Amino acid sequence: MNISAEIADCGRAMGLPGWSDKLPEQVAATIRSWQEGGPRLIVLDNAENLKLLNEWMPKLQPCRLLITARRENWPADLDLQTKRLEEFSRSQSIELLRKLAPRLQKVLDNELDKLADYLGDLPLALDLAGRYLSDRTELSIKNYLEELEEAGNALEHTSLKDWVEHNPTNHPTSLVATFALSWGQLGEADELARLLFRTSGYCASNIPIPRQLLAETVRANESDPELDRALRKLESLGLMQPTESGHRIHTMLAEFARLQDRDAEESALPAVAGAIAVLAAKARINKSLEDMVPLHEHLEALADFAEEANLQITRALWGNLGVHLGSLAEYERARMYLERNLKIDEKVYGPDHIEVAMDVNNLGTILVDLGELQEAKKCFERALTINEKAFGPDHPETANSVNNLGMVMKNLGKLREAKKCFKRALQIDEKVFGPNDPEVAVDVNNLGLVLQDMGNLHKAKKCFKRALQIDEKVFGPDHPIVGIRVNNLGTVLMDLGNLQEARKCIERALRIDETTYGPDHPQVALVVNNLGTMLLDLGDLLGAKKCFERALQIDEKVFGKDHLTVARDANNLGGAQKDLGDLHEARKSLERAMQINEKVYGSDHPVTAIAVSNLGSVLKGLGELQGAKKCFQRAPAISRLELGKDHPTTMMIQRKLKSLRACSEIT
Instruction: Check if the beta carbon of residue 467 is closer than 8 Å to that of residue 492.
Output: no
pLDDT tens by residue, 229-285: 999 999 888 899 998 889 999 999 999 999 999 989 999 999 999 999 999 988 877
Both 9 and 133 in one domain: the answer is no
pLDDT given at position 67: 86
Q: Is residue 319 part of a domain?
A: yes
The pLDDT value recorded for residue 573 is: 93
Domain shared by 137 and 203, yes or no: no
pLDDT, tens digit, 9 for 90 and up, residues 588-641 = 998 898 888 788 767 766 667 777 778 888 888 888 888 878 877 765 444 444
**Residue 532 to residues 82, 305, 327, Cα–Cα distance (Å):** 55, 46, 24
pLDDT of residue 657: 35
How far apart, in whole angstroms, are the C-alpha atoms of residue 313 and residue 245?
27
Q: What pLDDT score was predicted for residue 249?
A: 94
CB atoms within 10 A of CB 664: 13
Distance (Å, whole) CA 666 – CA 440? 55
Same domain? For 465 and 363 the reply is yes
Residue 83 domain-assigned (yes or no) = no
Domain presence at residue 529: yes
67: three-class secondary structure by DSSP: strand
The verdict on 204 and 241 lying in the same domain is yes
- Crossing angle of the two packed helices 23-36 and 50-60, in degrees rounded to 10: 60
Domain that holds residue 188: 184-291
Nearest CA to 426 out of 439, 413, 416 is that of: 439
Of 69, 104, 123, which residue sits at a domain end?
69
Q: Is residue 591 part of a domain?
A: yes
What CATH number is attached to the domain comprising 235? 1.10.10
**Domain limit, last residue, from 150, 176, 202:** 176
Residues 284 and 313 in one domain: no
- The verdict on 629 and 534 lying in the same domain is yes
pLDDT given for residue 397 in this prediction: 93
Backbone φ and ψ for 310, nearest 5 degrees, come out as: 60, 40
Same domain for 341 and 372? yes
Flag whether 453 is in a domain. Answer: yes
* Cα first-last separation, the chain: 101
**CB 501, CB 493: distance < 8 Å:** yes
* Chain-centre distance for alpha carbon 195: 27
C-alpha distances out from residue 358 to 320, 339, 437, Å: 11, 12, 21
What pLDDT score does 57 carry? Answer: 87
Same domain, 587 and 439: no
Q: How far apart are CA 384 and CA 379, in angstroms?
A: 9
Distance, CA of 411 to CA of 389 (rounded, Å) = 26
What 3-state DSSP class applies to 241? strand
Q: Are residues 287 and 298 in the same domain?
A: no
Residues 319 and 258 placed together within one structural domain of the fold:
no
Residue 80 resides in a domain: no
Name residue 246's amino acid: G
In this structure, are 364 and 476 located in the same domain? yes
Q: How far is 166 from 169, CA to CA, in rounded Å?
A: 9
**Among 131, 158, 176, where does a domain finish?**
176
State how far the Cα of 571 lies from the Cα of 528, in Å rounded to an integer. Answer: 14
Cα separation of 396 and 574, whole Å?
A: 43
Say what the pLDDT of residue 336 is. Answer: 92
pLDDT along the chain (667 residues), means of 10: 86 90 91 86 81 85 84 76 82 95 93 93 92 93 93 90 70 80 86 96 95 93 92 90 91 94 93 94 78 89 93 89 83 90 91 94 90 91 96 94 93 89 96 95 94 92 96 94 94 92 95 92 91 90 95 89 86 90 90 83 70 81 81 57 48 38 29
Domain count across the chain: 5
- Whichever domain contains 353, its CATH number is 1.25.40.10
Longest alpha-carbon distance in the chain: 123
Q: Which residues lie across from 66 on neighbouring strands?
A: 43
> Is residue 81, in this structure, part of any structural domain at all?
no
In a domain, 79, yes or no: no
Residue 177 confidence (pLDDT): 86
> What does the alpha-carbon distance between residue 305 and residue 200 come to, in Å, rounded to a whole number?
12
Query: Torsion-angle region of residue 22: left (phi > 0), alpha (psi -120 to 50) or beta?
Result: beta
Both 342 and 466 in a single domain? yes
